[in-house]
Structure 1
Amino acid sequence: MDKFNNKWMRAVLPALLIHCSIGTVYCWSLFKGDIAAYMGSSVGDVEWAFSIAIFVLGMSAAFGGKFVEKDIRKSSLLAAVFFVAGMAGTGFSIAQQSLIGVYISYGVVMGIGLGIGYLTPVKTLMLWFKEQKGLATGLAVLGFGLAKVIASPLIGQLLGARNSEGVLINPENVYTMFYILAGVYLVMMMIGHLMIKKPDGYTEAIAQGQKFNYIEVLKNKTFIGIWLMFYLNITCGLALISQEKGILLFVGFGAIGLVSSLTAVFNAGGRLMFSALGDQLKDRNSIYKIIFISSITVILLPLVFNNMNGVVMAFLIIALLCIINAGYGGGFSSLPPLLADRFGLHAISTVHGLALSAWAIAGLTGNQLATFILDQTGSYNVLLFVIMALFTVAMLISIFVVKPGKVDLPGEAVEREKALATS
């Protein structure tokens, strides 16, 4: 058994199994129309299930961090139970044509599994990769990004053939697909649950006498700055990613599927590249400065050269979408090591969970921001200007609010003074 007790078998593989399962939430666009058609509901009504899932993901991570901190074995099991139950429940709700059931199963139950499952492998990876924390979290979050690439062909096969109008020939496939996926992900997540393990000799922070104070963290200027720039990065990313198809059609580029696959690769690649690069930098916050500067630049180019011919403009737009996707993914993977550098590893699951509440709020505002601007102006240029302005605000926060160096929370200072007094 000793040969399996290493960072690849006890941290990396379990993390990929868990994240490649729960990351399937991003396959929603592949079947939301089929769900709506089978249930006789509008796509807009069904769409709320995804928004609820992302919101619950963020909030369950925010409130579940302390539970994950105590026992990753229990948290990985809980994540598997909730995610698989939510997946199977979604299939049952579709079969019963219950929209409320879909909201509860896909949105709430599966959302809890998503939040707990997303947090569970992160600290374990950073403990096994102490000198390469960015690479470690990049590997985990890479699985979340790759899930769509891996699952999309399987989902296409399970849904089956379509007629000339794009309607499923066998509509029942839409709910049987969820039953099959639930079985597949149950196996994957249970293997991850059985394999995941912290390094031998690691002692939890609770045993070290360190206490966690939510209020101290939530009031901390550095945490607020990190939360805001993380929120703005997700909001801007979702605002553009949600309009990917429309923007490409507007500039006359029709190979939507090709660009979608390309941006998915950049999204996944950015998760590994940016976080791993952070290991080589003096301050991991520099990664966010790179993300924001590159994002502002690629948005500015098509605005400045908007009179160029169609081919050049299409190239600039594709480059824009790829870079934004890379920065969107990199923002997720670079967050845990940045928080660990500022607040320490002893309560990283809890601090990371609190920061992920930004994801919950951004999940409700990102798409809606783009829709509102386009409804009011009908102009993609206005959308790009607004997103560029938000990236600029995020850049200023990164420079002036998120300062270098470890944050000394009041509670930690008291604990240290007590330790020095008794030593």
Structure 2
Amino acid sequence: MTILDGAGRLSGVRPGIFDRERIIATAGFNRWLVPPAALCIHLCIGMAYGFSVFWLPLSRAVGLSAPKVCADMTIVQELFTTTCDWRVASMGWMYTLFFVLLGASAAVWGGWLERVGPRKAGFVAAVCWAGGLVLGALGIYLHQLWLLWLGSGVIGGIGLGLGYISPVSTLVKWFPDRRGMATGMAIMGFGGGAMIGAPLANMLMNYFKTPTDVGVWQTFLAMGLIYFVFMTIGAFSYRLAPPNWRPDGWTPPEKNNAYITAHQVHLKDAHKTKQFWLIWAVLCLNVSAGIGVIGMASPMLQEIFGGKLIGLPDLSFNQLSAEQKTVIAGIAAGFAGLLSLFNIAGRFFWASLSDHIGRKNTYYVFFLLGIVLYALAPTLAAMGSKALFVLAFGIILSMYGGGFATVPAYLADIFGTQFVGAIHGRLLTAWATAGIIGPVVVNYIREAQIVAGVPRAQVYDFTMYILAGMLVLGLICNALVKPLADKWFMKPEEVAALQAKGAAVNAGGGSYGIGKGGLDARAAAFWMFVGIPLAWGVWITLQNAMKIF
């Protein structure tokens, strides 16, 4: 006869190293050890934003000093050629693979993550992301583009999805008093990954390159090893809060906010509610507007300001020499870097602010302020004010990042915390959709404007009004989000059955954290472990951004 103990395990059987029961925290655990564990993973997978650093070196991997171009080569031929260099546009499909696979894998395996816990999911993410880099390195070494796509794009993209959602549910439960801040701390790491990874990749490529090799495949191997170590440390540092745990001295506020439920919605029911799809649309529209700007940040600044960037206000972009265009391209790269800083800061700032003003109100700010800033952008461009233009788009990108960081807490408020990680995973299909809509809107309208003979400095004006219109739609969707009807909530006994395995661990009470939370020596050391690389990336980015002014 099988005998189960109070935690629902086989009596006398110790859980395996990856089992969910193995990582339920015991008395005395400091919850401030969990956010840096999440950052270990997000700072690594965030390098997906920085992959463009590899395109130019790879575009001359065969020709070395210059690309060896094969005219009339089809994309199918390009996948298998060993004698011709790859086109930058073909390698750029990696971004599509990244974010489509991120959304798909998060949606497909979100429920599995909730069952097995963040340690196993985080470790699988490490294997996929680092393993994808290793397979990609082999593809580069053999000069097989299909292998690069399969390794870094497909397998790596699966690692992106699992790694991205792995800490969400855990953090929300450890910080019931500050849900927004908790998810903001972790998700800001995804925005900061490229700030560390891109300069690191440049350093490694310069170290490994030789007269006969551009040094990219070796860089992939080195970064794969580094990322595997960091992500594994993060995965094994995760701990789960016991069911219904609360910080010492904190009691839930009185039920005066109808938008924060005390109940739970099952994963199988969440997508059947109109609230899920309204929040899906809210995220999709907010991200579509921002991601389009990210993709065109560098050419946008160059074409709008032209010679003003180098003290030649009378020269438009088309009047600049090749050498002058090279100079302003470097300045525009600093603009892109500065936007990434706003993106990161916004993830923490807006998500933390949402703890005080509410998630729905935070999205109202995103949409109302965004509409004004997008509508003003053409005027700021016509004024020739670089500072105001950069500030406006910095705020826009902070709200783009803030939207990502705030939405997990928004979901937890509406649907409860029991399945929030898996629900968030399904919601990320909005990101995959936005990754197609945003760039298409910005790129194709720009091309149409150029063909129509619109001056380069004005080709983005109509686009800004379109993006403002998208935010108007987002504003309407956010306004329509209402609290769920009681029929969607699980019965108390259903929730208790799901939580039974962890309940026994906390049966005797006990202190978790220091009061409401604080930094002891161990937590401070862990924060330094992730904070020093992040600070280095910020410093490098600021140095480049100062070239704008």
**TM-score normalized with structure 2 length:** 0.69
Pairing 1:402–2:488 present: no
Relative to 1, partners in 2 of residues 1:168 and 1:264: Cα closer, same or farther, differing over 3 Å? farther
Which residue of 2 is the match for residue 181 of structure 1? 223
Q: CA deviation at 1:412?
A: 2.4
Match 1:303 to one of 370, 378, 382: 378
Deviation at 1:168, TM superposition (A): 8.6
Amino acid in the other structure paired with 1:285: K
2:266 maps to which residue? 212
2:354 is aligned, of 273, 278, 282, to 278
Question: 3-state SS of the aligned residue for 1:192?
Answer: helix
Alignment-derived partner of residue 343 in structure 2: 267
Q: Secondary structure at the match of 1:279?
A: helix
Q: 1:95 to 1:212 in 2, by over 3 A?
A: same
Residue equivalent to 1:52: 97
Q: What's the counterpart of residue 108 of structure 2? A: 63
Change (3 A) 1:411 1:396: closer
Question: In 1, are the aligned partners of 2:113 and 2:121 still within 8 Å (CA)?
Answer: yes
TM-score, with structure 1 as normaliser: 0.89
How is 1:149-298 mapped onto 2 (pairs within 5 angstroms)? 149-160=195-206, 171-200=213-242, 212-214=266-268, 216-250=269-303, 251-252=305-306, 253=309, 254=328, 255-281=331-357, 283-298=358-373
Closer, same or farther: CA 34–3 of 1 in aligned 2, 3 Å? farther
The 8 Å contact of residues 346 and 402 in structure 2, kept in 1 or not, is answered as: yes
User: What residue in structure 1 maps to residue 170 of structure 2?
Assistant: 124
Q: Is the 8 A contact 2:180 2:351 kept in 1?
A: yes
* Distance 1:387-1:305 versus aligned 2 partners, 3 A rule: same
SS at match of 1:136: helix
Query: Greater CA deviation, 340-349 or 368-377?
Result: 368-377
CA shift in 2, pair 1:305/1:179, >3 Å? closer
CA contact (8 A) 1:298 1:319 kept: no
AA in 1 matched with 2:343? N
How many angstroms apart in 2 are the aligned matches of 1:279 and 1:112?
31
In the alignment, which residue of structure 2 is the partner of 1:78? Answer: 124
Separation in structure 2 between the aligned mates of residue 65 and residue 153 of structure 1, nearest angstrom: 32
Distance 1:142 1:371, change over 3 A: same
The one of 160, 168, 184 aligned to 1:114: 160
What is the letter of the counterpart of residue 362 of structure 1? Answer: A
User: In the alignment, is the contact (CA less than 8 A) between 2:294 and 2:336 conserved in 1?
Assistant: no
Structure 1 Cα separation of the partners of residues 211 and 486 of structure 2? 60
List alignment gaps of at least 5 residues for structure 2. Answer: 1-24, 63-84, 246-263, 310-327, 451-458, 496-549
- Between the aligned partners of 2:486 and 2:427, the Cα distance in structure 1 is 16
Contact in 2 for aligned 1:133/1:337 (Cα 8 Å): yes
Match of 1:16 in 2: 39
Contact 1:138-1:271 at 8 Å conserved across structures: yes
Identity %: 29
In our comparison, the structure showing a higher alpha carbon Rg is: 2
Deviation at 1:365, TM superposition (A): 2.7
Q: Label 1:171 to 1:371 Cα distance change in 2 as closer, same or farther (>3 A).
A: farther
Q: CA deviation at 1:72?
A: 1.6
Larger helix proportion of the pair? 1
Counterparts of 1:155 and 1:393, CA distance in 2: 40
Partners of 1:322 and 1:221 lie apart in 2 by 32
**Alpha-carbon shift at residue 148 of structure 1 (Å):** 1.3
- Kindly state the Cα deviation for residue 181 of structure 1 after the two structures are TM-superposed: 0.2
- Cα distance between partner residues in 1 of 2:236 and 2:212: 37
Shift in CA distance, 175/390, structure 1 to aligned 2, threshold 3 Å: same
In structure 2, the residue matched to 1:331 is 403
CA distance, structure 1, for counterparts of residue 265 and residue 378 of structure 2: 50
What is the CA-CA distance between 1:257 and the residue it aligns to? 3.2
Cα distance per residue 1:101-159 (max 9 Å; x no partner):
11111111000101001011111111111100111000000111111112222111011
Runs of at least 5 residues in structure 1 that lack an aligned partner in the other structure = 204-209
**Matched positions, count:** 400
The one-character-per-residue Cα deviations of 1:307-332 (angstroms, maximum 9, x if unpaired) are 42x2x2x2332123201210110010
Q: Offset at 1:338?
A: 0.2
